[in-house]
Amino acid sequence: MSFSNNDVQKVAEILANSKYLVAFTGAGISTESGLPDYRGPEGVWTLREKGLKPMLPRKPMHLVQPNPGHFAIVDLYKLGLLKYLISQNVDNLHLKSGIPSEILAELHGNSGKMKCLGCDTRFLKQEIGWDDHLHGKGYRTEKSRSNQPRCPYCECRIISSVVNFNDPMPEKEMQEAEKHTRKCDVMLAIGSTLSVVPAASFPVIAKRLGAFLIIINVGKTELDTMADVRIEAKSGEFLPLVIDHIKALS
């Protein structure tokens, strides 16, 4: 990667001096855990658009673990710097890494969670006995099956929380993401090409409201020209060095 010690020092000082840091993550943060991204050079959609077969995850999803990039974000939270995390990812790795659910907006859902169409309660699949082999994936556009579990609170249909193409965005998560974006003075965008809207609109909103925008990604993003600092790096290599420098500053 092409980053320098000066890059590490600069980003560390910006984050350490932030008053309301919000992070934004895309699939690129999870590639070091063995998951493919979507819009990168070897991404799922990039390859499909070329008529090529996309890379499959190296492990079953339940065995995939967070990497140093995820844990560095947890460190930012533990240091009292990170106030909120907005993620496009459905892989559950932020929650596995130790990020509290109350400071996380999973804009595209979570592959391990279902939600009620009536009361919007979220459930882990094991909580309600959902088995993909028996009940299907439960996507919104799929026909409901008679054997699928129903919401224990309101008896309404339960569907996957994952947001597929043409599905509506989750209202609560979008509202929370916007609320914290409007408060932030630093937006740290990690591992995203920032090309999928409406999710990618949050770094734009932050920048237009005067926040400092830092982008860390391998490959170009749609907002490179808008960034105050642009780092070409794998998050799992760059962010732990930033954390070490922040700790040395205190």
| pLDDT tens by residue, 135-147 | 999 999 999 999 9
Q: State the pLDDT at residue 43.
A: 47
Q: What is the pLDDT of residue 36?
A: 79
Model confidence at 46, pLDDT cuts 50, 70, 90, reads very low
Q: Is 141 left (phi over 0), alpha (psi -120 to 50) or beta?
A: alpha
Average pLDDT, the chain: 92
Strand order in the sheet with 113-116: 122-124, 113-116, 158-160
Active site residue 245: no
Q: How far is CA 139 from CA 88, 132, 158, 172, 241, in A?
A: 17, 11, 9, 19, 40
Catalytic residue among 94, 108, 135, 245: 108
Its pTM stands at 0.91
Displacement of CA 14 from its chain's centroid (Å): 22
pLDDT of residue 51: 60
Residue 119 has pLDDT above 90, yes or no: yes
d(CA 120, CA 105): 15
Q: What are the residue boundaries of the structural domains of the chain, listed by start?
A: 5-109+169-249, 112-161
d(CA 215, CA 217) in angstroms, rounded, equals: 6
Classify domain 5-109+169-249 by CATH number: 3.40.50.1220
